[in-house]
Amino acid sequence: MAESFAFNIADKLLGKATSLVVEQVCLAGGVYSELENIKATLSTVRAVLLDAEEQQVNNHQLTDWLGKLKDCFYDAEDVLDEFEYDSLQRVVVSEGCIKRKVRHFFSSFKMGNKMKEIRERLDKVAADADKFNLKKMGVNVPVPVLNRKRENYSFVRASDVIGRDDDKENIIQLLMQSSDEENVSVLPLVGIGGLGKTTLAKLVYNDGRVVAHFQKIMWVCVSDEFDVKRLIKEIITSATHGKCDDLPMDELARLLRNELDDKKFLLILDDVWSKNRDKWLELKALLDGGAKGSKIIVTTRDKLVAFVMGTCPMYELKGLSDEECLSLFITCAFKDGRDKQYPRLVGIGKDIVKKCKGLPLAVRTLGGLLYLKAEEKDWLRVRDSEIWKLEQKKDDVLPALKLSYDELPFDLKQCFAFCSLYPKDFEFLNITLIEMWMGQGLIRPSEQNEEMEDIGHRYIDELLQKSFFQDVEEDIPGFFYSFKMHDLVHDLALLVAQPECSMLNFDSENISTKVRHVSILETHEIKEEETISRFFGKLNNVRTILFGDSDVGPECESFVITCLLRFKYVSAECTRFELRGTTKFHL
């Protein structure tokens, strides 16, 4: 799906090819005519790339063509970068040196060959565009400025949640009951993705009766990996509201018991996937010292997880009714009370929500997609989309999410896809994410001469409104805030970013040559320099590398230099290197 990056690459490449520095270098090297031919081919191909992106879904030959075209673009960009470097080198090195003049002769000869090779490859691949009957499409579709106020999602208001009142009361009653058999009971909350398990758990967690009933309440997001040490640290952090140091396991276990022993507590373990009973028993043994009536709620999609962890009968969450779905949809698609002005749109909305099969996430996403759209054709396009007819397998991305992604403006598609470089349940910071988008050239300047950062904030607001981001927490209102992606939305990001973007670790094997942007996942072991060097040898085509965790990033000057020499964009949490804080290099 990431062949859609082809337009973005072509756009940047065309900008670089028309820069004064590149034109002057090519003119001095006698390859200006080759540059002009490349620019002409780029302009022609660029005009049809957006149409190619839309059509590739049902045309594998077109996907293959876009991949070949993109490879040409990347190689051409590398050649132009070399030209820019050559220009800088000429400024530094004296032009009067005989050795320099000889080197310049051979450099110009080599430059000419490279330009000719790139031009011929590009012309050959571009000529195949005629096979696909592609039409020219414009890209000047601005991201709309939304007036909807950004909400703080650290706590879910009951008034914002539709159709879960009975479920909330049922679970609270179960929490208030004491077990005669054990001090700590485990209640599994089970349901398919997108039903609102986490939202319901938050409603319960924040209810005043629950807060008053328990001496300690804690929330930990577990996600894919059931790492007992990490979970202990996060439970301690949630219980104490302070940072937990990376201590030895026995010391962490002692701290956890000190916090919870003989206290009635509620612990939410959200989004559990692991069925490893041994790991669960290892953690539970440290929690069993809680006072009688302590409870653990486990949210999961998997009934087997519920069987492994639960001590109480699982609570199975069902989908919303059609009436509840329509009520939620209207809340998301219209400003307050405006639905009364558009009865025909509401009628179409009834048909749309029936396709959502009771999933609140799907309903919210489509409601956000149609927010402020008053043209019937927009609503009919969603209702009658071919995507609803595709066979839906168990782990497939929800059609409603894919449909919403397809309707995003081009620039937002690129920015959203790059979020796949971060792991599930990652807490994005608005400033950091915008900097990454800017470093990749994904934020398109506006005609109103807005600051790039302001455009980036509009991008985030749009993705929030359409439910691609959620769980906003504001540190400094209006300036610094964090947010997350639902795990189903993260699955969508992974889908649309393949094979361009990939999350790896130093032990990853069989890395695709099509991977261009990678993030290094958390590891608890400091890898030997030889292992890291061997890993870097597999990344010959990679241009971006992100180190998202302080245990993974650069440790020494030589490591940083290696990254800078190999990659165009480097981002690292440098806690062990003399550069403190988050360090970004864009080359």
Residue showing tokens 């990679």: 542
pLDDT for residue 272: 95
pTM of the complete model = 0.80
Domain count, the chain: 4
Listed residues 86, 108, 132: the one ending a domain: 132
Are 175 and 269 within one domain? yes
Listed residues 496, 519, 538: the one ending a domain: 496
- 153 within some domain: no
Are 473 and 384 within one domain? yes
Q: Which residue ranges in the chain fall short of pLDDT 70?
A: 1-4, 86-109, 138-159, 392, 394-396, 478, 522-529, 548-559, 573-587
- 150 within some domain: no
Are 187 and 246 within one domain? yes
* C-alpha separations of 50 from 46, 134, 137, 429, 467 in Å: 8, 9, 6, 30, 24
CATH of the domain at 222: 3.40.50.300
- 146 within some domain: no
3-state secondary structure 481-530: EEEECCHHHHHHHHHHHCCCEEEECCCCCCCCCCCCEEEECCCCCCCCHH
- 329 within some domain: no
Q: Which domain holds residue 308?
A: 164-316
- 155 within some domain: no
Helix 343-354 crosses helix 376-383 at what angle (to 10 degrees)?
10
Neighbouring CB atoms inside 10 A of 571's CB total 24
Are 490 and 508 within one domain? no
Strand order in the sheet with 315-316: 216-223, 265-272, 294-300, 184-190, 315-316
Are 110 and 197 within one domain? no
Are 342 and 488 within one domain? yes
Are 474 and 526 within one domain? no
pLDDT digits (tens, 9 = 90+) for 562-586: 777 788 888 875 544 444 344 555 5
pLDDT for residue 49: 85
pLDDT for residue 180: 72
pLDDT digits (tens, 9 = 90+) for 147-205: 444 443 335 666 678 899 999 999 999 999 887 778 999 999 999 889 999 999 999 99
pLDDT for residue 579: 41
Are 486 and 508 within one domain? no
- 323 within some domain: no
- 430 within some domain: yes
Listed residues 109, 132, 155: the one ending a domain: 132
pLDDT for residue 79: 85
pLDDT for residue 581: 43
Are 109 and 192 within one domain? no
Are 342 and 290 within one domain? no
Are 344 and 253 within one domain? no
CATH of the domain at 456: 1.10.10.10
Q: Exposed/middle/buried for 577, CB within 10 Å: 0-12, 13-18, 19+?
A: middle
Are 352 and 373 within one domain? yes
Q: What's the CA angle centered on 268, arms 226 and 215, to 5 degrees?
A: 130
